[in-house]
Amino acid sequence: MQKTLTLKSREDRRLRAGHLWVYSNEIAVDKTSLRDFEPGEIATLCAASGETLGQVYVNPQSLISARLLTRDSKIAIDEAWLVARLTDALALRTRLYDQPFYRAVHGEADSLPGLVVDRYDQLLVVQIGTAGMEALRAPLLQALQQVFHPETIVLRNDIASRELEGLEQSVEIVHGQVAAQAEVLEGGLQFAVDPIKGQKTGWFYDQRENRLAVRRFAQGARVLDVCSYVGGWAVNAASAGAADVLCVDASGSALEQASHNARLNGVEVRTKQGDALQSLKELQAAGEQFDVVVLDPPALIKRKRDAKHGSNHYRSLNQWAMRLLGKSGVLISCSCSHHLSAAQLQDVMLQASRQQGHDLQLLARGQQGLDHPEHPAMPETAYLKTVVAHVRHQ
């Protein structure tokens, strides 16, 4: 019989509104002690009144001490349950895309908290981020094979969030064999990615729709792609007729891959290895100018307490990017930091433009791709912002 986890009075309101997380300070420790639970153990969640709210998995070591799996208190959390959830997730993606290249599972938004699955045709790259999902690893792997019938499954459990859950980091091939590179087909282009050593799962599907924006401005343009990784933005620009494309990234291996991906599509890009901000300064000192600059840095604000420092970093990047634009240029600025809202990113760009006396015209806004759905009750799941702006030098 499952143990019961009971909330304090009135702490059930957020969950009734749709949220899926329970924090440690919301638990009625006089009724249930977190120390009684093993990491990943499934429990029945109850309001202070005793009313059953659903089933959760528990981790007494984490600030997020429980995550809601289902509001059905009677259903078994087993392989069949996982198959049903994965089948629902797959049905949505097959409606969205005509080729099997997408994020197949996006955690809480797909009612599978702690789980990310990216699909590269017959290859699945899986990230298990919580003790609760780790406890379901065996039935999960069986369910993935039953729903997707992949040739290969790779576990990229080398993410920092596992440490917060008391889990070790590792990379494993748990089914089949994987080649050194996987293929992504996106927007009529071909990209080779590394599912074992590449960033995250090897590719960033979340920018899929936003990357198309650079095509509109690329014809005959000089394009700078900062934090280019393996060339997603750059190859789109070059394939759309850019006169010159320069990729900047701190990783030499990523830049080699960007050049390779350009060649796969019959185009060329130049590369420059270095820190993003320092490289922008060096390019400005060298008298370089561009018609389009793309800024797609990693998350610069990982914790709320780092918001001020991170915002200043975003502003500096945007300032130096604007200095590299000609009299009339386009800046595509992105942030994947949850703690920087879309409005704040826009304000950062405005501040950067006004400090240099430039006019800013906002042309478009973007968010994470359709295969990265947001949970409407969980603002934490809305993380990616992209702003396309016209910068006019006065």
Contact in structure between 224 and 246 (CB atoms under 8 Å): yes
What amino acid occupies position 295?
Answer: L
Q: Using CB atoms within 10 A of its CB, is residue 103 exposed (0-12), middle (13-18) or buried (19+)?
A: buried
The H or E element that residue 91 is part of is helix 79-96
Contact in structure between 150 and 121 (CB atoms under 8 Å): no
Q: The tokens of 73 are what?
A: 């208190």
The single residue of 46, 227, 334, 336 carrying the catalytic annotation is 336
Q: Write phi, then psi, for 381 (nearest 5 degrees).
A: -85, -5
- Cβ contacts of residue 241 below 8 Å, gap of 6+? 218, 219, 220
CA distance 89 to 261: 29
- Cβ contacts of residue 10 below 8 Å, gap of 6+? 48
- Cβ contacts of residue 98 below 8 Å, gap of 6+? none
DSSP classification of residue 374: P
| CA dist 71 → 44, 96, 107, 226, 374 (Å) | 10, 27, 17, 44, 19
Contact in structure between 159 and 192 (CB atoms under 8 Å): no
Residue whose entry in the numeric block shows the structure tokens 């930091």 = 337
Q: Write phi, then psi, for 329 (nearest 5 degrees).
A: -130, 170
- At residue 138's C-alpha, the angle toward residues 133 and 142, to 5°, is 110
| CA dist 22 → 35, 55, 78, 114 (Å) | 16, 12, 22, 14
Query: Which residues on adjacent β-strands are paired with residue 364?
Result: 388
Contact in structure between 323 and 287 (CB atoms under 8 Å): no
The answer to whether 46 is a known catalytic residue is no
Active site residues: 336
